[in-house]
C-alpha cells in the first residue's frame, strides 16, 4: 500500500500513535481526545462542547468519555465555586495517568466523591461533654423564706389596685403567682399602696 502525506507547515497537532492505534478506544473517543489535544493550552472547552462541535451524539459521547476515563486519558473532579455552586473540572492528557498522577498535574490532592464544604473544626465552646456527669444534675429550686412568701402574697393580693383588669384573675392561680413572686427579689416586686384581698367573682 502506498501512502502520500505532506507534513503540514502550520496548524497541526502531534498525537502519539498509541492514541490513534489504541485497541480499546472507539473512533469517537480518539476523535474527542485528538480534538481536545489540538486546542490551545489556555482554551477552556469542556468535553461535551467538543463532542457537539465534532458532531458526536450524546450516547456516543458518553461511551467515548467512559473509555477515555477508563484508559486514564481523562480525569474529572467536582469542586465548589462562588455562591456555593458546584462545577466539574476536567483534565485531558496525551498519555495515560493514574488518579495520583492526575492529581499532581492538577496541583491538588485527590478527593473521593464530592468534597465537604469547609475544613474540619474542633468542638465549639459550650458543646456537649465527652462523658455524662455522674449523679443527679437537676438543681432544686430553693424554698422561699417565710418573710419573702408573705411579701409576695401581699403583692399578689394588691394587684387589683394597680389595674382593675387584674381583679379578674382567678383565685385558683393566686398561690402559683405568690410562689413566682416569692422567687423574685423584693426590690423587683412592685408594692401596692393598700393591699386588699381580691373580691370573689
Report pLDDT for 100: 92
Q: Which of 60, 84, 106 is the last residue of a domain?
A: 106
Note whether 100 and 156 are same-domain residues.
Answer: no
Note whether 101 and 36 are same-domain residues.
Answer: yes
In a domain, 151, yes or no: yes
The residues near 63 (Cβ < 8 Å, ≥ 6 apart) are: 26, 28, 29
Report pLDDT for 8: 81
Report pLDDT for 132: 57
Q: Which of 106, 134, 152 is the last residue of a domain?
A: 106
The number of C-alpha atoms within 13 Å of 2 and in the hemisphere containing its C-beta is: 1
In a domain, 22, yes or no: yes
Report pLDDT for 188: 47
In a domain, 113, yes or no: no
Q: Which of 60, 86, 106 is the last residue of a domain?
A: 106
Note whether 100 and 147 are same-domain residues.
Answer: no
Tally of structural domains, the chain: 2
Domain that holds residue 56: 17-106
In a domain, 122, yes or no: no
In a domain, 193, yes or no: yes
Selection from 139, 149, 138, 159 nearest residue 184 by Cα? 149
In a domain, 37, yes or no: yes
Note whether 160 and 100 are same-domain residues.
Answer: no
**Long-range interactions of 70-74: CB distance < 8 A, separation 24+:** 70/24, 71/22, 71/24, 71/25, 71/96, 72/96, 72/97, 72/98, 72/102, 73/19, 73/33, 73/97, 74/33, 74/47
Residue ranges in the chain modelled with pLDDT below 70: 108-144, 163, 166, 184-201
Note whether 24 and 84 are same-domain residues.
Answer: yes
CATH of residue 98 = 1.10.10
In a domain, 127, yes or no: no
Note whether 99 and 156 are same-domain residues.
Answer: no
In a domain, 120, yes or no: no
Note whether 148 and 100 are same-domain residues.
Answer: no
Amino acid at each position: 500500500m502506498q501512502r502520500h502525506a505532506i507534513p503540514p507547515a502550520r496548524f497541526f497537532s502531534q498525537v502519539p500513535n498509541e492514541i490513534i492505534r489504541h485497541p480499546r478506544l472507539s473512533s469517537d473517543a480518539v476523535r474527542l481526545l485528538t480534538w481536545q489535544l489540538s486546542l490551545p493550552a489556555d482554551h477552556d472547552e469542556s468535553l461535551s462542547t467538543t463532542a457537539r462541535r465534532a458532531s458526536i451524539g450524546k450516547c456516543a459521547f458518553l461511551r467515548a468519555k467512559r473509555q477515555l476515563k477508563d484508559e486514564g486519558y481523562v480525569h474529572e473532579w467536582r469542586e465548589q465555586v462562588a455562591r456555593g455552586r458546584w462545577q466539574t473540572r476536567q483534565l485531558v492528557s496525551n498519555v495515560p495517568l493514574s488518579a495520583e498522577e492526575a492529581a499532581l498535574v492538577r496541583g491538588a490532592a485527590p478527593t473521593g466523591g464530592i468534597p465537604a464544604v469547609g475544613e474540619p473544626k474542633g468542638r465549639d465552646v459550650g458543646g456537649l461533654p465527652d462523658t455524662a456527669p455522674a449523679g443527679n444534675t437537676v438543681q432544686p429550686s430553693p424554698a422561699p423564706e417565710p418573710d419573702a412568701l408573705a411579701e409576695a402574697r401581699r403583692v399578689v393580693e394588691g394587684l387589683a389596685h394597680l389595674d382593675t383588669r387584674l381583679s379578674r384573675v382567678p383565685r385558683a392561680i393566686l398561690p402559683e403567682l405568690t410562689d413566682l413572686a416569692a422567687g423574685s427579689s423584693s426590690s423587683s416586686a412592685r408594692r401596692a399602696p393598700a393591699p386588699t384581698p381580691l373580691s370573689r367573682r
